[in-house]
């Protein structure tokens, strides 16, 4: 086992539910937790650290800790939307290194699909954010916010709808092998650009699915990992950042990955070309395009050409991505896709992805999560994970 990692991912579990009409959110958290523990070969009695975000009901970490009857010495409820769960992995590494816990459980769960949720839910007035009175009068909705970023990227760099469509095409090539994926049909570029416009230039097939479900991962100390066998995955680097409107001085064509990518690569002592597989948050196709550029896998403005060459398709391209189908085709539980990105990266490094999409000799994987919206305020987090015999 590689000895220079401060912590390891020992367990990972993706809830198979896509519409949870017979389960509560707490049940989804609990079932995901137990699934990850079983995968790690641990029990809930081993857990002494718990990490969750705003998807946890009630009093968040406290409520779920009681629901699971956990005996904790450390807890963290950092909230940065869909990037929260990558940040939790990084914070778990720090807590373990500081001796605050040895076995950290991280969970995600929700049921927006069963509850009929939309992308614009009402917020209690007392909890309204400070930007509310400046932005809400203009009626922003999530697809339109991403459409602004796509339109600007097209204007600045000549990116086309056909190039964006290749990202969905790649995701669909992978999703066809995932029996749990919501969208399993392989689609063509023409089908993507001929699907209805949701917010110009975003088409329906440029958008992620809305699903219920959840997932969990277990982060453990090197001492615990040593007793669990070689399925543990080393956590090589972690970086996080917040990008916001900066008082109006804001560029729609880049994401927080311009900060977290270089930091993570420097911490890991590697470069982008060393990465064998990438899990990249894919709320919309433009999210992937900008992130691929910002992480350094191609030059800024060249993302369209990069993805249009089929580089994201496993077995074909230079950067196989989201081999479970991602948020574009597989699932996007409670509109927070960071957790599932970590889980698929763990599968790849263990050699447990579907044989038709498994990356040969996968030794290094990058995971990137995005929270908020790339055209306003967003949280970004990047992880670099390593197969323990790499």
Domain ranges of the chain: 8-114+212-231, 139-209+235-387
- The one-character DSSP state at 56 is S
Torsion angle, CA of 154/155/157/162, rounded to 10 degrees?
Answer: 20
- Structure tokens of 315? 């077995």
Closest to 267 in 3D by CA, of 384, 96, 388, 387: 384
Q: What gap in Å lies between CA 16 and CA 154, rounded to an integer?
A: 37
Residues 161 and 163: their CA atoms lie apart, in Å, by 5
Answer yes or no: same fold for 8-114+212-231 and 139-209+235-387. Answer: yes
Calpha distance 257→297 (Å, rounded): 11
C-alpha span between 283 and 346 (Å, rounded): 20
State residue 132's pLDDT score: 81
What's phi and psi for 207, nearest 5 deg?
-100, 150
| Cα-based angle 268, 390, 366 (whole degrees, multiple of 5) | 45
Task: Tell the CATH superfamily of the 139-209+235-387 domain.
Answer: Thiolase/Chalcone synthase (3.40.47.10)
pLDDT score of 21 = 87
With vertex at residue 311, the alpha carbon angle to CA 292 and CA 328, rounded to the nearest 5 degrees, is: 65
- What CATH number does domain 8-114+212-231 carry, 3.90.1150.10, 1.10.8.100, 3.40.1500.10, 3.40.47.10? 3.40.47.10
Please list the ranges in the chain whose pLDDT falls under 70. Answer: 1-3, 117-127, 390
| Contacts within 8 Å (CB) and 24+ apart, 227-231 | 228/10, 228/40, 228/41, 228/42, 229/41, 230/1, 230/388, 230/389, 231/10, 231/350
Q: Helix (H, G, I), strand (E, B), or coil: what is residue 4?
A: coil
pTM above 0.85, yes or no: yes
What's the pLDDT at 127?
Answer: 57
């Amino acid at each position: 086992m590689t000895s220079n990692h401060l912590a390891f991912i020992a367990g990972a579990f993706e809830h198979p539910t896509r519409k949870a009409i017979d389960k509560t959110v707490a049940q989804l958290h609990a079932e995901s937790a137990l699934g990850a523990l079983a995968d790690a070969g641990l029990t809930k009695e081993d857990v002494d650290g718990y990490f969750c975000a705003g998807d946890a009901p009630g009093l968040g970490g406290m409520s779920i800790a009681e629901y699971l009857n956990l005996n904790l010495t450390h807890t963290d409820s950092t909230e940065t939307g869909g990037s929260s769960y990558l940040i939790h992995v990084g914070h778990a590494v720090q807590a373990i290194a500081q001796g605050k816990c040895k076995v950290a459980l991280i969970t995600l769960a929700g049921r927006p699909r069963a509850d009929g949720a939309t992308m614009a839910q009402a917020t209690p007035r007392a909890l309204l954010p400070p930007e509310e009175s400046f932005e809400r009068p203009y009626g922003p909705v999530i697809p339109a916010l991403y459409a602004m970023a796509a339109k600007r990227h097209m204007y600045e760099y000549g990116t086309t709808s056909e190039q964006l469509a290749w990202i969905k095409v790649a995701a669909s090539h992978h999703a066809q092998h995932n029996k749990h994926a919501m969208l399993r049909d392989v689609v063509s570029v023409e089908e993507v650009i001929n699907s209805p416009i949701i917010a110009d230039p975003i088409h329906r097939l440029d958008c992620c699915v809305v699903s219920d479900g959840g997932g969990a991962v277990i982060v453990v100390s090197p001492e615990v990992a040593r007793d669990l066998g070689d399925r543990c995955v080393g956590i090589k680097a972690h970086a996080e950042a917040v990008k916001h409107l900066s008082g109006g001085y804001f560029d729609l064509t880049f994401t927080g990955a311009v900060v977290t990518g270089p930091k993570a690569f420097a911490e890991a002592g590697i470069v982008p070309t060393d990465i064998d597989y990438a899990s990249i948050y894919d709320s919309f196709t433009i999210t992937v395009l900008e992130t691929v550029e910002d992480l350094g896998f191609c030059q800024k403005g060249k993302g369209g050409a990069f993805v249009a060459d089929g580089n994201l398709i496993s077995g074909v391209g230079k950067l196989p991505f989201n081999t479970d189908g991602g948020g574009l085709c597989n699932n996007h539980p409670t509109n927070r896709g960071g957790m599932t990105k970590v889980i698929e990266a763990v599968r790849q490094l263990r050699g447990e992805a579907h044989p038709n999409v498994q990356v040969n000799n996968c030794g290094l994987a990058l995971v990137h999560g995005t929270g908020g919206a790339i055209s306003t305020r967003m949280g970004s987090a990047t992880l670099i994970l390593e197969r323990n015999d790499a």
